[in-house]
Chain A
Amino acid sequence: MNRRLALTIAVLALLSARRAAAQEMSIGYQGLPYKATGESPTGINLGEGVLMHVGLGAEAGYDSNVFYGSSSIPGAVIGSGILRFSGYGEVTNASRNGTVPGLSYDVRAGLTYRRYLSDNVYVKNYDNAWMPSAGLSLGTSAGTWTFALSDSFLRQEDPPYQTTGLARSVSPISRDNNLATLQAQWMPGGGRITGTLRYTNSIDLFEANSGYSYANSLTHTFTLDVSWKWLPKTALFVQANQGYVSYLNTNSEGKVPSYPLRIIAGLRGLITPKLQAVVSLGYVNAFYSSGATTGGFWGSTYVDVQGIINPTMLSRLTVGYHQDFQNSIISNFYYQYSVYASWVQQIAGRLSLDLSGRYSHNSYRGLLFDTTQSRSDNSFLAGATLDYFIRNWIYAGVGYSFTANVSDYHLPNAMGMPDPAKPVDYLKNQVFARLGVTY
Chain B
Amino acid sequence: MARKTKLILTTALLASGLVAHGGAGAAPSAAAPNQADIAVKQRSNLTAPEMVKQGNEYFKGMNDTVKRITDLKNQAQRQKDIIRLNCVNDKLVQAKVNITIGEQAMSSLQESISRADEGGRTHEFTRLTIVNQKVQVLGAEAENCIGEDLSFVGATRVDVEVDPNLPTVDVTQPAAPQIDTARPPPASQG
Contact = CB atoms under 8 A, between A and B. Distances in A.
Interface of A: 1, 15-19, 21-24, 68, 98, 150, 152, 154, 156, 158, 161, 163-164, 173, 175, 177, 179, 181, 194, 196, 198, 200, 202, 204, 206, 211-212, 214-215, 221, 223, 225, 227, 229, 233-235, 237, 239, 252-253, 268-270, 273-274, 276, 310, 313, 329-330, 367-370, 377, 405, 411-412, 422, 424
Given A23-B175, A234-B172, A18 B181 contact: yes
A424 B185 contact: yes
Main secondary structure of the interface of B (DSSP, over half): loop
Chain A to chain B: the 4 pairs with minimum beta-carbon distance, closest first: A235-B172, A330-B187, A161-B186, A329-B184
B164 interface: yes
B49 interface: no
Contact of B188 (A152, A233, A411): A411
B177 A179 contact: yes
B43 to A, nearest CB: 75
10 contacts: A202-B179, A225-B174, A227-B174, A233-B170, A269-B172, A270-B166, A273-B166, A276-B167, A313-B164, A369-B188
Interface residues of B, number: 27
Given A17-B183, A161-B186, A330-B184, A221 B177 contact: yes
A233 B166 contact: yes
Interface string B157-177: 000000111111011111111
Contacts of A235: 172
B172 A173 contact: no
A206 B180 CA distance: 13
B154 interface: no
Nearest to B164: A313
B179 A330 contact: no
B33 interface: no
Interface of B: 163-168, 170-190
Contacts of B177: 179, 181, 200, 202, 221
Contacts of B183: 17, 68, 158, 173
A367 B187 CA distance: 9
Contacts of B172: 194, 227, 229, 233-235, 237, 268-269
A164 B185 CA distance: 11
B182 to A, nearest CB: 6
Contacts of B163: 273
B188 A370 contact: yes
Contact of B178 (A24, A212, A237): A24
B165 A23 contact: no
A206 B164 CA distance: 45
A23 B180 contact: no
A412 B182 contact: no
Given A152-B179, A369-B187, 9 more contacts: A1-B168, A200-B177, A206-B184, A211-B189, A253-B189, A270-B167, A368-B187, A369-B189, A411-B188
Contacts of B168: 1, 98
A318 to B, nearest CB: 13
Main secondary structure of the interface of A (DSSP, over half): strand
A7 to B, nearest CB: 13
B62 to A, nearest CB: 59
Given A17-B181, A235-B172, A237-B174, A68 B186 contact: yes
Contacts of B181: 15-19, 154, 156, 177
B190 A23 contact: no
B169 to A, nearest CB: 9
Contact of A179 (B164, B173, B179, B189): B179
A214 B188 contact: no
Contacts of A152: 179
Contact of A313 (B165, B171, B182, B186): B165
Contacts of B174: 196, 198, 223, 225, 227, 237, 239, 268
Contact of B171 (A221, A269, A377): A269
A330 B182 CA distance: 13
Contacts of B189: 211-212, 214, 253, 369
Contacts of B165: 1, 273-274, 310, 313
A329 B185 contact: yes
Nearest to A276: B171
B26 to A, nearest CB: 79
Contacts of B175: 21-24
A175 B185 CA distance: 13
B135 to A, nearest CB: 57
Contacts of B186: 68, 161, 163-164, 411, 424
Nearest to A416: B188
Contacts of B164: 1, 313
Highest count of chain A CB atoms <10 Å: which of B170, B174, B182:
B174
A225 B175 CA distance: 10
